[in-house]
A and B are shown apart, each in its own frame.
Chain A
Amino acid sequence: MNTVAETPLVPARRPASSFQMILTLSVVSTLSGLLLVFVYQATLPRIEANRRAALEQAVFEVLPGAETRATFVAGPDGFTPAEADAGNAGDVVYAGYDADGALVGVAVGAAGQGYQDVIKVLFGYSPERQCIIGFKVLESKETPGLGDRIGKDPEFLANFDGLDAKLDAAGTALAHNIVLVKGGDKSKGEIDGITGATISSTAVAAMLNRQCQEMIPYIMSHVDGLQKGGA
């Protein structure tokens, strides 16, 4: 299979000196380095614009009604506006605002082990209604026709339009866990799974529950920092 081994001999030439070999390699490497720097510089703005557009679309999809957004980093003393869209340490959340500049909700990412590989999702949380208002699968390799329905099955996606995620009285955890229940009631934080895709649905419920338990108490106590223009 490896063609390199079976090629006929290259016509004999006088043997090259080490100097010549090093020279050739360095010239070729330098040229390729220059070409790459040029291409990298030329394409970087376009790539970043595309990434931003894709992210923006996902954020607006999980926060219905949002028209602008801002990126925040969750630090130990509350949210700080992010410098750029990438390269921030700590959890990044995206706040979405409607046309009047009022906070619609917060888009938070979550990830967890699915059936085939890691599933990555983005969900929208409304601090005002204290519930999840949108959900989108960003990355999954689940089985087509079964597990991948977590991203497109309308009945399953309807679970996330107002899925309850209220805090308990102490404000440190959710009032009830987000769990997978057959015929579940979303006003109690229950997700109705997909028949034939139990593992994928359970994985979604588990990753949402984990991320909500961690992030929502934080979001609720620092929600002022998310208002337009900062605190």
Chain B
Amino acid sequence: MDPDSLGYIFINACLINNFVLSMFLGICPFLGVSAKIETATRMGLAVIFVMLVSSMCAYGINALLIKLNVEFLRLICYIAVIASAVQLVEMFIKRFSPALFRALGIFLPLITTNCAILGLALFQTQKQYNFLQCLAYALGAGVGFTIALTIMAGLREQLDLADVPDAVKGAALTLIVAGILSLAFMGFAGLGG
């Protein structure tokens, strides 16, 4: 498959190089919000949404910075603009769609400083994607994040019923399960070959 095609970029971000399980981005929400399937899917939706918004912002800022020849301000601008854009969008949703706000609700501010969001912006810059490719990349990354989070939540709901030694309970068990899940996702490598 052509590495620059939109379909490949989507599959690459979603499965082959899954943001959570193979690039270790967004581990904090992955461990924190993966206890229940319902919260996990909502969190996933919010992440997809924020990723699309911040991907567009990052594309715009990068073009502007290159034009002004001040690329060393990239990091500061990315984080500042992404954070404020998400805040604006949050206020907007709260005002015009209370139902959507209840669904995404508390997750929006929480994920603004999630490393997956900034990571997405940095990687799309590094890979020099054009606007459409950026959107495909953001969508793939968000969907991949949601898939990983939902599978993990499903596993953890079952694990709660299992009788495990005290020392293993909590983060240790979650991480080991995540390792096995990551091993499973390695099977997607080669999809684009």
Which residues of A are at the interface with B, using a C-beta cutoff of 8 A? 1-2, 4-5, 29, 32-33, 36-37, 39-40, 112-118, 143, 199, 202-203
The majority secondary structure among interface residues of chain B is helix
Least CB distance from B33 to A in Å reads 9
Which residues of B are at the interface with A, using a C-beta cutoff of 8 A? 1-3, 8, 12, 16-17, 28-29, 31-32, 72-73, 76, 110, 113, 189-190, 192-193
A2 and B189 contact, Cβ closer than 8 Å, known pairs A36-B72, A40-B72, A116-B16: no
A33 and B73 contact, Cβ closer than 8 Å, known pairs A5-B110, A118-B3: yes
The majority secondary structure among interface residues of chain A is helix
Residues of A within 8 A of B17 (CB): 116-117
Least CB distance from A76 to B in Å reads 23
Sample of 5 A–B contacts (CB below 8 Å): A2-B110, A36-B72, A36-B76, A117-B12, A199-B193
Is there contact, CB below 8 Å, between B3 and A32?
A: no
Least CB distance from A187 to B in Å reads 28
Residues of B within 8 A of A37 (CB): 72
Least CB distance from A144 to B in Å reads 12
Residues of B within 8 A of A1 (CB): 28-29, 31-32
Is there contact, CB below 8 Å, between A115 and B190?
A: yes
A112 and B189 contact, Cβ closer than 8 Å, known pairs A32-B76, A36-B72, A40-B72: no
Is there contact, CB below 8 Å, between B110 and A113?
A: no
Least CB distance from A25 to B in Å reads 10
Residues of B within 8 A of A114 (CB): 193
B33 nearest CB neighbor, chain A only: A1
Residues of B within 8 A of A36 (CB): 72-73, 76
Is there contact, CB below 8 Å, between B3 and A2?
A: no
Least CB distance from B28 to A in Å reads 4
Least CB distance from A150 to B in Å reads 13
Is there contact, CB below 8 Å, between A2 and B28?
A: yes
Residues of A within 8 A of B2 (CB): 113
Residues of B within 8 A of A32 (CB): 76
Residues of B within 8 A of A113 (CB): 1-3, 8, 192-193
